[in-house]
Chain A
């Protein structure tokens, strides 16, 4: 029943620039989009000069740029047999008080822009949304429900989200340091990311081969102390992909740099016997981009597979989890054939995705 979903084209738009390879080259060289922001009184990764236009909202503009770039790189007609999945947590958050705030409408506008005629859906599962979008797409393709799927993810930096995380005392005082002993919280970020998947291989070099999700069934905001929820998601992903932990070459984890999240992940990876694998979090480069995170970071994994290299886990200096992890401290060339992308989020949700070089 499980079939690979071939990656035909991708793009990401972050404050570092437009394009998957452009962004990967920046992060491989150690460049971060995170900086001190006086307006929000914390460190964020945010666009300097990006505004809504007369005809599109700010997020719509971000998503359309990424869609256009990805569509340009796709070697087939997107307007036929194509589904659209939008992954976002807060969408057009500046329009909350108006009717424009309805997320399915945003998805409809993006579909229209891309020339996709089928009815889109929005997946809104907190910080796992992006990863889940890819899982959902791969399963639609496996079940023959869609031939091609455009997965688009995006979220913005906003006072709403910043103050929310501030009320949780979860914001870092500087640039975040995932897995580090002195980590003190998250940086928020904004981005748009697009991945075009297909049942047909075309000239693709990577494929999504399986995924899994789970719920901690423990607490709506605090990560589980045992890591067994994320472990379950990982096991389901491995099973669906027909792979063992041994065959995974690296982990692109959630790594938000809160004390509890990173600790939980270390336990989960130990349970899944993945703790010996090279691991990174990309939150130090892009910040935590919420609904876009899982998608953006998966696309960076695809670039790793294409370039046979691993970026550093920015911010890491000393071991900071009870289970020691093989955190990638320096960007390096590495022979890699497959990886696992994991995400966890509010609501106790976890998602894991396996991407393979083909």
Chain B
């Protein structure tokens, strides 16, 4: 049996782990709603921050100290944040694989690099014109040498993910898999990441469970 141990959602207005908001950028304040929101952040500006700015705000709100974060493109920042929240400094990444997915690949970074062809192309920008770089960043941070994969599908495809997760657990000889969907395009982003683990648990990894979790935030 494969179960979902934990999951997180990241979108411009907030970041939640197992449905509990860790960072909140929504417009109503903690006081008026009566709820205590950890790391609720009041943003004074009326203009919507760019994806880049917002992802850095998440980084700061979560008190992460990893200077390389600032070199990453938005897609890598998004995946990195999700992994950070799920692994939670637990050091439990010995027996881990990574299977991530999205629709647009690294298109946002591709377009930026293409613009730079008119000037002097940047190697730091070029390296992010591949969707699997985010996997590399996560593996470096959490010292994961397990199997890894990046799938592109027309929409969130829970079956394709489950097949790939199962493969990595069985043939990769690991106990857990970091998986999910990280999409970053047109100055918007959405991340749904989860830790799937071999063994018994409350939330079984099935198509319907994943499809439901994907929508919930």
Contacts and interface: CB of A to CB of B under 8 A. Distances in A.
Within the complex, are A and B direct neighbours (CB within 8 Å)? yes
A123 B173 contact: no
Contacts of B122: 167
Contact of A108 (B121, B137, B154): B154
B30 interface: no
A163 B121 contact: yes
Contacts of B107: 96, 101-102
A143 B117 contact: no
Contacts of A105: 154
Contacts of B149: 123, 125, 132, 136, 213
A126 B136 CA distance: 11
A216 B171 contact: no
A167 B128 CA distance: 13
A140 to B, nearest CB: 7
A104 interface: yes
B167 A347 contact: no
B103 A104 contact: yes
B171 A229 contact: no
B contact residues, range = 35 or more
Contacts of A139: 167, 170-171
B172 to A, nearest CB: 7
Interface in B129-149: 129-133, 135-137, 139-140, 142-149
B136 A347 contact: yes
Interface residues of A, number: 59
Nearest to A107: B152
Nearest to B136: A347
9 contacts: A119-B157, A122-B151, A124-B105, A159-B117, A168-B123, A168-B126, A214-B145, A217-B140, A347-B136
Interface string A196-223: 0000000000000001111111111100
A112 B167 CA distance: 26
Nearest to A163: B121
The 9 A-B residue pairs with the shortest CB-CB distance, nearest first, are: A347-B136, A164-B126, A122-B152, A215-B139, A167-B123, A104-B154, A347-B132, A139-B167, A217-B139
A348 B139 contact: yes
B154 A347 contact: no
Contact of B132 (A104, A121, A349): A349
B153 A122 contact: yes
A72 B154 CA distance: 28
Given A89-B130, A121-B151, A139-B171, A215 B111 contact: no
A220 B173 CA distance: 24
